[in-house]
Structure 1
């Protein structure tokens, strides 16, 4: 039985800009940083890892979904940081409130919370 995600590792092109992006959304760095080839962030009880792959190209791969305490507050934080989410927060028929945001390397992120 799957209990959860321990970590997800995303290939990125530029560590400096990726670290800036994720830190601006409130992710805490545990290892690495702007000059490192590999960086790990805390994502609740799991981890978000970034690894530099500057010469690689990729097409759409899917979406990672993070549960957050307050979807609307994170949406406002993303806007305040200058990011442009692809959707506004909304309640989905499957029982979550969510919005989508694409990072600077094209990874689709969803920030969600189960509806009460």
Structure 2
């Protein structure tokens, strides 16, 4: 049996707010999806990203609770250039999203920044330094 990772799922407290964040990162999720308790979006290469409200999760797992402590998983979005890392980070912060780490030149050769989505998940922004 061959396993294939093909869906990344995110549990959200507020679907419209979460989808608005990911639209700012370039995902073309129709605004009509804001009212749905489960949303899936196809990504290039065959992967999908899905969002479920807390209520949806509770419908089949009544004891579910958000994890406590630090995050263990982050989503990473590649930007076209180091300047784009700075621009996207600044746009997200100006829109009211929390910055975890302002842009910096990482020792591994990338311009990097980390913001939190509305549910506190780490979202990395990066571009290879020339």
Same fold (TM over 0.5): yes
Asked if 1:58 corresponds to 2:72, the answer is no
Structure 2 stretches lacking a partner, 5+ long: 59-64
Distance in structure 1 (CA, Å) of the matches to 2:6 and 2:29: 16
> Does structure 2 conserve the Cα–Cα contact (< 8 Å) formed by 1:67 and 1:111?
yes
Structure 1 stretches lacking a partner, 5+ long: none
1:76–1:6 distance in 2 versus 1, CA, 3 Å = farther
Asked if 1:111 corresponds to 2:122, the answer is no
Aligned Cα root-mean-square deviation (Å): 2.5
| Structure (1 or 2) with the larger CA radius of gyration | 2
Greater helix share, structure number? 2
TM-score (norm 1): 0.77
SS at the partner of 2:33? coil
> Does structure 2 conserve the Cα–Cα contact (< 8 Å) formed by 1:32 and 1:39?
no
SS at the partner of 2:51? strand
Asked if 1:76 corresponds to 2:111, the answer is no
Distance in structure 2 (CA, Å) of the matches to 1:6 and 1:97: 27
Q: CA deviation at 1:43?
A: 5.4
TM-score (norm 2): 0.70
> Does structure 2 conserve the Cα–Cα contact (< 8 Å) formed by 1:6 and 1:47?
yes
Distance in structure 1 (CA, Å) of the matches to 2:91 and 2:111: 16
Match of 1:67 in 2: 78
